[in-house]
Homo-oligomer: A and B are copies of this chain.
Amino acid sequence: MKIGILGTGRVARTLGGGFSTRGHDVYLGSRDVIRVTSDTSGESSFNAWHASYPDVKLVTLKQAASEGDLVVNATDGPGSLSALREAGEDRFGSKVLIDVADPLDWSHGFPPSLTVCNADSLGEQIQRALPNVKVVKALNTVHNPIMVNPRLVGGGDHTTFLSGDDLAAKAYVAKLLRTEFGWEDVVDLGDIRTARGTEMMLLLWAELSAALQTPMFNLKLVR
C-alpha cells in the first residue's frame, strides 16, 4: 500500500518508519524539502533518521497527498490546517485521512493549552476544510512510539479511540491499527465531533507525563 504522511517531525517519522518496516511504500510530505535535508544537527536531524529508513521517500505535501492510497496528518496541530491547504484539497479526492495531530500550544511553556477546544476541535476543522475526505481521528492520545507499538506499555493492554463520520473508514482504520501495529482495544467513539474528547484529554496527558516523568503510558478503558 502507498501511504502519504504529511509532516517530517518525530510523529511523522515514527509512523513513516512503522509503515515502511511493515512493507508499505511511504511518502513523507514536507513544506520545505530543501530545509529538511539541509539540517545537519546530528542524531536528531531528518537525514540521520532517513539513513535508517532509506526506502521512505521525502516529497512535497502535494505529492504525499497525491501518492498515498491512505493519507496521515502528522503535522504540528496548530499548523495542520495551513499544511492541508498547501497540499491542496484536490489532491485528497475522497481518500481516508488519519488525523493524529493535537492542537497543542506550547508557546507559553508548560502546561500547554489547546488552540481549539470545547465547542470545536481540530478534527472537525479538518473535516470542514476537506468535506470530501473521510477524516478519522486516531492515535492522538499516546506518545508516538506507542502509536506503532502498543506493546511498549503494559504489554499492549490499553485503549485507543477513533472519531469520524464515515463508518467504513473507521472500520478500515480500526483493522489497520490491529493488524499493522497490534492495537487490541480500538474504541469507536462516534462521529468526528467526538474528537473534542480525545483532543481535550491532552491536558491530562501532559500533566501525567510530568507527574510520571515519562510519556510512556496510556489509559485503558475498563468496562
Contact = CB atoms under 8 A, between A and B. Distances in A.
A207 B220 contact: no
Nearest to A196: B203
A194 interface: yes
Contacts of A217: 221-223
Interface stretch (A26-34, A39-47, A90-98, A113-121): A113-121
A218 B222 CA distance: 5
Contact of A219 (B188, B190, B221): B221
Interface in A193-223: 193-194, 196-198, 200-201, 203-208, 210-212, 214, 216-223
Contact of A190 (B189, B207, B216): B207
A208 B200 CA distance: 14
B203 A200 contact: yes
Contacts of A206: 197
Contact of A201 (B111, B200, B220): B200
22 contacts: A111-B196, A113-B119, A117-B117, A117-B118, A117-B200, A118-B118, A154-B223, A157-B222, A159-B219, A161-B204, A188-B211, A189-B208, A190-B211, A194-B211, A196-B203, A197-B206, A197-B207, A200-B203, A201-B201, A217-B223, A219-B219, A220-B220
